[in-house]
Amino acid sequence: MKILRAEYLGMCFGVRDAIELAVHEAAAQPLTILGDLVHNETVLAQLRSRGIQFQNEAAAVATRRVMITAHGASDCKLTDTRNRGLQVIEATCPLVQLAHRSLKALVDEGFHPVIIGQREHVEVRGMTEDLEQFDVVLAEPEIARLPERPRFGVMAQTTQPIDKVRRLAQALRERFPAAEVRFVDTVCQPTKQRQNAAVELAKQSDAVVVIGGKNSNNTHELVKTCAQFCERVFHVQTAAELRRDWFRTDDVIGITAGTSTPDQIITGVEQRLHEFDAAQNSIARTEETLNYCKWIEHFKRNKQNRPEPDWAAPVNIPSGVLAPLLRSVEQFRLGDGGGPASLIAFNREKFRSRTEELRQIVDLWFAEEAEHARLLGCAVRRFGGRIITSHWSFTAFCLCRRVLGVSFELQVLTLTELVSTGYYRMLRKHSPDGPLAAMCELILRDEAGHVAFQRDRLLSAGCPRPGMRGGWWRLQFLFCGYAAGTVLWISHARGLKAIGGTRSEFYSEITRQMTRFIRSLGKQPKPTRVPAQWAQPQSAQLQLAK
């Protein structure tokens, strides 16, 4: 889990100054604030705890002094409040004052004011209560309902998204092409910064947490903006509302916050996300360790139970069959034998360096591969062949594995095991030789374990991700499998045909292995059934490729 903070987020200077002023004034004399100083319950609770009272109407104020919030108030409301004998302390944000002055200038010049914002928002009411005529719009349909006027003066509530404001101003121009439309940008700079930063954040994130009050207009706008660029957007007021199941272990999580959200709430949310991350990592580590332990047991058990084929038994195979069969076995030994050029050797140290458990498994697993090479070597010698050290198909295969690299490693290794399983099953079925068939039986048992082990590793690595199973990942997996299978068929066709195998049989065999494997991924989204399997390691899971 990676956690990103938006470049600009949280409390703006206007709200911060208003809170500081309220605290300062309340320390001197009792104070009532008219309306919500900020749209944030946590901050309001802190202010109440300092003895500050809140009222919506001047008539209900019981203290001698009242404070006007950062959202500002109309002149008529200020006058009415003073006429009641109350001392007014103004905490109106300078950028809201600037919006009031811009509005007055438009009206003085004869423009009909159109304010883009929420009609009932305290800031908009503060702007409009002194006006005789005005319109407030929030979307295109409201513009369509406006009557024609010769001159429109357009401005906005300070916390509206600037893109939306510009779009609506343009819509007004298009609706009344003959009218003079003057637009004054009154959206405040902190809002613009937070909106732009939220866009950048949402583009980089798998999930975004927007922190702010449920009644906060600018927080709602941040939620809407983020939702345009990110599918999972969560609006919370505090860390307590966060839920662990909203997030995945490998998520990039963005954090942004409205202009009335205090720093300590943002920090609390960030800390809580880090706690989720630590808890999920710990669960994943435990599962991984348990899983690894299961595989250590499995490979150790295989090691102790390896019945040797009766290589001393007489060979009774016609020469026309033996020669191509021998070529095939010689080549296959090369692949299973590893050697300095093989993928196994190429990545062995990388696997081993991960954890102690994985190091043990990799050593045991690769020891099985080496044992397969030894068995194939025995078969080669039994048929009077030689131990070859190179073949074009093996060189091509190693090259592909290196080009594909470690990121593709799990899938490539898995496909190799599946295609090999197809080969050994055909060899076992048609083998004209008893010890060779017994060898195939033993190797197939091992390969089934390798495939199941690779499946666990693929699932632990989050592959295929949800949504990929039926689509692109499956196609890619099948395509690579058929490509590897075709290389194998071309280089082993003579040997397999000599013992009675056919091409269609080979392709249906590898198709069966790959589709069973893909289905098994869908059946078990995460390796959480580990304890039961550990207790019973020869479960159906280990029989996958058989």
- The helix or strand, by DSSP H or E, that contains position 341, with its residue range, turns out to be none
Residue choice 32, 40, 81, 159 for contact with ligand SF4 (CB under 6 A): 159
Closest to ligand SF4 by CB, 120 vs 132, is: 120
Closest to ligand SF4 by CB, 79 vs 97, is: 97
CA angle 323, 329, 332 (to 5 degrees): 145
- For position 33 contacting ligand SF4 by CB under 6 A, the verdict is no
- For position 237 contacting ligand SF4 by CB under 6 A, the verdict is no
- At 467 the three-state DSSP class reads coil
Residue 268 CB, shortest distance to ligand SF4, in Å, is 22
Count the Cβ atoms, other than its own, within 10 Å of residue 499. 20
Residues within window 253-292 making contact with ligand SF4, judged by CB under 6 A: 259
- For position 15 contacting ligand SF4 by CB under 6 A, the verdict is yes
Contact string (CB under 6 A) for ligand SF4, positions 168-197, x = contact: --------------------x-xx------
Closest to ligand SF4 by CB, 15 vs 169, is: 15
Closest to ligand SF4 by CB, 218 vs 533, is: 218
Residue choice 1, 6, 12, 415 for contact with ligand SF4 (CB under 6 A): 12
Residue 90 CB, shortest distance to ligand SF4, in Å, is 13
CB 327 within 8 A of CB 333: no
- For position 96 contacting ligand SF4 by CB under 6 A, the verdict is yes
CA 22 to chain centroid, in Å, comes to: 42
Torsion of the alpha carbons at 344, 350, 352 and 356, rounded to the nearest 10: -150
- The helix or strand, by DSSP H or E, that contains position 213, with its residue range, turns out to be none
- For position 216 contacting ligand SF4 by CB under 6 A, the verdict is no
Contact string (CB under 6 A) for ligand SF4, positions 347-386, x = contact: ----------------------------------------
Q: Helices H, strands E: what count in the chain? A: 19, 12
Residue 115 CB, shortest distance to ligand SF4, in Å, is 14
Buried b (16+ CB within 10 A) or exposed e, 512-545: ebbeebbebbeeeeebeebeebbeebeeebbebb
Torsion of the alpha carbons at 146, 147, 152 and 153, rounded to the nearest 10: -40
Closest to ligand SF4 by CB, 158 vs 328, is: 158
Considering the candidates 41, 109, 123, 357, report the single residue annotated as catalytic: 123
The Cα–Cα gap between 249 and 85 comes to: 60
Which residue, judged by CB position, is nearest to ligand SF4 in the bound state? Answer: 14
Closest to ligand SF4 by CB, 258 vs 338, is: 258
Quote the DSSP letter at residue 60. Answer: G
Binding residues with ligand SF4: total (CB under 6 A): 14
* Listed residue (219, 212, 281, 295) closest to 247, CA to CA: 281
- For position 117 contacting ligand SF4 by CB under 6 A, the verdict is no
- At 196 the three-state DSSP class reads helix
Is the CA virtual torsion 364, 340, 308, 421 positive or negative? positive
The Cα–Cα gap between 177 and 532 comes to: 75
409 is catalytic: no
CA 322 to chain centroid, in Å, comes to: 55
- For position 70 contacting ligand SF4 by CB under 6 A, the verdict is yes
Closest to ligand SF4 by CB, 33 vs 362, is: 33
Q: Which residues are catalytic?
A: 123
Rule CB under 6 A: which residues touch ligand SF4?
Answer: 12-15, 70, 93, 95-96, 158-159, 188, 190-191, 259
